[in-house]
Amino acid sequence: MRESARIYTAIELLEQCETSWAGARPLPADIILHHFFKSRRFIGSHDRGAIAELVYYIIRHRATLSWHMEHHRQQGARAMVITALLLHRRLTLADLHNFFNGEQFSPDKLSPDESSYTKALSGQPLLHPEMPDHARLNYPQWMEAELQSSQSDSWKEEVAALNEEANVDLRVNTLLTTREELIAGLKEEKYDAEPTRLSPLGVRLKTRAPIFTSAYFKRGWFEMQDEGSQLATLVAPVKPGDKVIDFCAGAGGKTLALAALMKNKGRILAWDTSAKRLDQMKPRLARAKVDNVQRHVLTSETDPFIKRHKDSADLVLIDAPCSGCGTWRRNPDLKWRFTEDDLNEVRAKQKNILESASRLVKKNGHLLYVTCSLLQSENDKAIEAFLAQQSKFRVAEPSKIWSNFSQPIMRQDSLLRLTPLQYGTDGFFAYLLKRCE
pLDDT in tens, 282-316: 999 999 999 999 999 999 999 999 999 999 999 99
User: What are the DSSP E strand ranges found in 46-205?
Assistant: 168-172, 193-195, 202-205
Sequence spans of domains, the chain: 3-138, 168-224, 229-435
Superfamily of domain 229-435: Vaccinia Virus protein VP39 (3.40.50.150)
pLDDT at 422 exceeding the cut of 80: yes
pLDDT at 189 exceeding the cut of 90: yes
How many C-beta atoms surround the C-beta of residue 308 within 10 A? 9
Q: C-alpha distances in angstroms, 10 versus 55, 84, 105, 109?
A: 6, 11, 11, 16
Q: H or E segment at 85?
A: helix 77-87
Rounded Cα–Cα distance for residues 60 and 346 (Å):
23
HSE-CB at 353 with a 13 A cutoff on CA atoms is 32
Superfamily of domain 168-224: Sun protein; domain 3 (3.30.70.1170)
Rounded Cα–Cα distance for residues 208 and 210 (Å):
7
pLDDT at 151 exceeding the cut of 80: yes
The answer to whether 3-138 and 168-224 have equal CATH topology is: no
pLDDT in tens, 365-421: 999 999 999 999 999 999 999 999 989 999 887 555 556 666 656 455 568 899 999
pTM above 0.85, yes or no: yes
CATH annotation of 3-138: 1.10.940
Helices 45-60 and 77-87: crossing angle in degrees, nearest 10, is: 90
Mean pLDDT rounded to a whole number for the chain: 94
Q: C-alpha distances in angstroms, 358 versus 45, 177, 395, 433?
A: 47, 35, 14, 10
Percent of the chain with pLDDT over 70: 96
pLDDT in tens, 163-176: 999 999 999 999 99
Looking at residue 284, what is its pLDDT? 97
The band of 208, judged by pLDDT with boundaries at 50, 70 and 90, is confident
